[in-house]
């Protein structure tokens, strides 16, 4: 198949998914966000169930180690991995959502949030401190296992 001049083609399935998500968001605006979040959550749950079956333990550090192997280390830096916290920083969005909106990032990140809730524990919180989708120079995300007091 021949590339058409000026055609922006995805490099991988995640970029293709991101192109679809962006087009949907551009067409329907904020009304699309709950739909994007719900569908991305289903994807995350499916992925979380799959990894949960493959790993010897479902503690946060084990799941985070497996999760971190899916990213290119030149784009994502692991700041911390423990059984209570997993923190990563990235310079590029795997979905190509740079400079779209923070809200869109939050909806798409439901994939990862639901992945960790499913594979580890429902009581995992996700904090998005910075996001390239919102125009920040890097992403900074923290998954924390909420402790019961």
Burial of 119: CB neighbours in 10 Å, binned 0-12, 13-18, 19+: buried
Return the pLDDT at 71: 86
Return the pLDDT at 106: 98
Residue 148: DSSP 8-state: P
Alpha carbon of residue 20 to chain centroid: 16
Burial of 44: CB neighbours in 10 Å, binned 0-12, 13-18, 19+: buried
Query: Mapping DSSP to helix (H, G, I), strand (E, B) and coil, where does residue 87 land?
Result: strand
pLDDT, one tens digit for every residue, the chain (149 residues): 455 666 789 999 999 999 999 999 999 999 999 999 999 999 999 999 999 999 999 999 999 999 998 888 889 999 999 999 999 999 999 999 999 999 999 999 999 999 999 999 999 999 999 999 999 999 999 999 987 65
- 119, 57 in Cβ contact below 8 A? no
Domains and CATH numbers, the chain: 13-145 (3.30.1380.20)
Q: Which two tokens stand for residue 11?
A: 């490099």
Asked whether the whole model's pTM tops 0.95, one would answer no
């Amino acid at each position: 198949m021949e590339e058409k001049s000026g055609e922006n083609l995805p490099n991988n399935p995640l970029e293709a998914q991101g192109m679809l998500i962006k087009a949907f968001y551009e067409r329907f605006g904020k009304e699309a966000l709950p739909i994007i979040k719900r569908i991305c959550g289903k994807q995350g749950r499916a992925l979380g169930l799959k990894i949960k079956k493959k790993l010897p333990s479902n503690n946060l550090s084990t799941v985070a180690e497996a999760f971190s192997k899916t990213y290119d280390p030149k784009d994502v830096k692991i700041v911390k991995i423990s059984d209570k916290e997993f923190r990563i920083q990235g310079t590029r969005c795997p979905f190509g959502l740079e400079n779209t909106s923070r809200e869109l990032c939050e909806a798409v990140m439901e994939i990862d949030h639901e992945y960790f809730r499913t594979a580890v524990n429902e009581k995992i919180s996700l904090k998005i401190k910075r996001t390239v989708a919102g125009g920040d120079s890097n992403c900074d995300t923290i998954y924390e296992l909420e402790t019961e007091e």
